[in-house]
Amino acid sequence: MLLFLSVPHPRPPGARTRAGAARVARWRRQRLRLQQLRRLGLLRGLRGRPGAGSRGRGRMALCGQAAGAASLPSELIVHIFSFLPAPDRLRASASCSHWRECLFYPALWPQLRICLRVSPAEQPRLEFLMRKCGWFVRELRVEFAAENYLSGGGGPGDGGGADTGTGGEEVEALQLSTRWLEVLRTYLELVLCVLVSIRNNRNLQKFSLFGDISVLQQQGSLSNTYLSKVDPDGKKIKQIQQLFEEILSNSRQLKWLSCGFMLEIVTPTSLSSLSNSIANTMEHLSLLDNNIPGNSTLITTVELERFVNLRSLALDFCDFTAEMARVLTDSNHVPLQRLSLLVHNVSVMHKSLENMPNDEHWKALSRKSTSLRVYIMAFDIKSEDMLKILKPSIPLERIHFDSYITCVSGAIVDLISRQYDKFLTHFILMNDVIDTSGFPDLSDNRNEDPLVLLAWRCTKLSLLAIHGYTVWAHNLIAIARLRGSDLKVLEVTEESIDFDQGELADQDVDPVHNLIEQVSLGLGQPWHAVMDIESLSVFTEPNRHFYREMQSFSEDI
């Protein structure tokens, strides 16, 4: 065994005195620093007399549990959290129980935006979140969505397609019925969870609900059919409606109320729960529901008179009457700046268009507010009805057509390009009509394609999305060249594009490659056709797309 002994070298005279003085000065500075940290509460529990040993213990205390992350004061932890985005806050809160307690400090969560699948797995997480934040959150936006509720077959247990004929159809119908009952049962529970948690929140300023789980088929609404089985006596629906009215009556700072396609929540009497003081200061109101029976409306003209400070409004088009337009032009109302209107074939069938505003009412609204802009979405509306609706004086900025039964005609597109050339920025044309003869061609029997004329006349056009209508390749190139870089979004599905026989016959040029190259040059940015229609939310979830666009449209004031 070898032992290595270190022998100290002799120091020069006076070296011990200089080293000792340096150690004393360093110790004093360190003690002063520790005293400052103790006064700030950052070194609770740190003990020990100064010296070589205490310096070692001090370093251990600074890094150890006694004076580590857990001992930081709550105010400092909240201040740290305030610089972090929500996902990083959640990760940081896993450090210890003290940090977890600080995670839901009210100042950290003024806004809460939740997108929920209507699934039983979401319920415990939603209950936890709403229990923590529901009583203080100032802006709450919740979206409910049932995923794959129309998918055929029941998964692994559906027999793998072995059932055929009538027996197979009965099994599939039974599986679909079971899934729908579960979807609606879970939906009601999730809605109750949200409403119960905020019923006493008097700080709520913005409240938005979206719940598009009503699937309309040709034989009627599946949601209403199964709702009677899930809630036969109507107790849960009644409880939900009462909670919603209680939230409105308890509100003291509400400025924004938006409820879109929520099944059986808003009633024609819901708004009467708002006090006059809140109604007088409300800035945005959105009530959209195409399941209201008969001639019922969610807001009346008399009720609208209370909303004198309204700057943005979203309603079913059949509910927006000439009398409402007159109320909005009164001198005691502030100028309306955003108006979103949903034109649905279900509403048009049950309600009349006779009471809608005429061109003079639209002129009066535009004189009242020169910054008024209108957003219209039309679901399966016949061309003759659209000709009645599209008054020349509407300051139309955005229009979205979605068709399942009827198609938009070239005359309608041409009318829009002529009447709204000064305002139109967004034009969406979606068609899901099953037609074995191919997609409709808007340019049939016309010298010029209506879509090209739209791009030429509407100089502010920034978004154009098309599916289910024939778009000729040379017309698409013309649209890109006419609008250039000002056309920020050009979405055309690959199956909607067609080529002339001359383009296909040219062996020297690949027509698809040439189309991509020419459109990209015209737009000044790389462009490709949309290959997967399922990737377009505007096609797969038109209600959700309209609701989100309406929200951003109304906020952009």
In the numeric block, which tokens belong to residue 213? 């789980």
State yes or no: pLDDT of 538 exceeds 60: yes
256-260 β-sheet, strand order? 111-117, 139-145, 206-211, 256-260, 284-288, 312-316, 338-344, 373-379, 396-403, 426-431, 463-467, 489-492
In the numeric block, which tokens belong to residue 226? 């199964």
Phi, psi of 174 (to 5 degrees): -65, -40
Exposure string of 500-511, with b = 16+ CB inside 10 Å and e = fewer, is: eeebeeeeeeeb
Pairing mode, strands 497-498 and 463-467: unpaired
Residue 324 to residues 300, 351, 356, 409, 413, Cα–Cα distance (Å): 8, 16, 9, 30, 28
What is the mean predicted confidence (pLDDT) over 110-119?
88
What is the mean predicted confidence (pLDDT) over 315-336?
94
Of 64-68, 93-97, 318-322, 509-513, the poorest mean pLDDT is in 64-68
Look at residue 151 in the predicted model and tell me its pLDDT: 43
Q: ∠ CA(166), CA(171), CA(175), 5° rounding? A: 145
As a whole number of angstroms, the distance between CA 152 and CA 533 comes to 19
Half-sphere exposure of 179 (CA within 13 A, CB side): 19
Look at residue 149 in the predicted model and tell me its pLDDT: 41
Among residues 326, 167, 258, the alpha carbon closest in space to that of 551 is found at 258
Most distant CA atoms of the chain, gap in Å: 111
As a whole number of angstroms, the distance between CA 497 and CA 513 comes to 13
In the numeric block, which tokens belong to residue 490? 């050009």
Do 540 and 504 meet the contact criterion of CB atoms below 8 Å apart?
Answer: no
- Local structure of residue 360 (DSSP, 8 states): H
266-309 pLDDT, tens digit per residue, is 888 999 999 999 999 999 999 987 666 556 788 999 999 999 99
Q: ∠ CA(48), CA(51), CA(54), 5° rounding? A: 35
Do 245 and 270 meet the contact criterion of CB atoms below 8 Å apart?
Answer: yes
Say how many residues make up the chain.
557
Judged by phi (left if over 0) then psi (alpha if -120 to 50, else beta), residue 445 lies in: left
Look at residue 30 in the predicted model and tell me its pLDDT: 66
pTM of the predicted structure, to 2 decimals = 0.81
Judged by phi (left if over 0) then psi (alpha if -120 to 50, else beta), residue 51 lies in: left
Band (36; pLDDT cuts 50, 70, 90): low
Among residues 396, 391, 328, the alpha carbon closest in space to that of 356 is found at 391
Average pLDDT, the chain: 82
- Local structure of residue 152 (DSSP, 8 states): S
Range(s) of the chain covered by CATH 3.80.10.10 = 313-556
200-242 pLDDT, tens digit per residue, is 999 999 999 998 765 444 334 556 677 778 888 889 999 999 9
Name the strand (E) or helix (H) holding 86: helix 86-92
345 Cβ partners below 8 Å, 6+ apart? Answer: 379, 380, 381, 405, 406
Q: Which CATH superfamily is domain 313-556 in?
A: Ribonuclease Inhibitor (3.80.10.10)
Do 158 and 171 meet the contact criterion of CB atoms below 8 Å apart?
Answer: yes
284 Cβ partners below 8 Å, 6+ apart? Answer: 255, 256, 257, 258, 310, 311, 312, 313, 554
Q: Torsion over CA of 413, 417, 418 and 422, rounded to 10 degrees? A: 150
Residue 522 to residues 85, 96, 429, 480, Cα–Cα distance (Å): 39, 56, 21, 5
340-380 pLDDT, tens digit per residue, is 999 988 888 888 888 999 999 999 999 999 999 999 999 99
Angle of helix 511-523 relative to helix 473-483, nearest 10 degrees, comes to 10
122-169 pLDDT, tens digit per residue, is 899 899 889 989 999 999 999 987 654 444 333 333 333 444 455 566
As a whole number of angstroms, the distance between CA 410 and CA 408 comes to 7
State yes or no: pLDDT of 58 exceeds 50: no
Band (3; pLDDT cuts 50, 70, 90): very low
Residue identified by tokens 């932890």 is 77
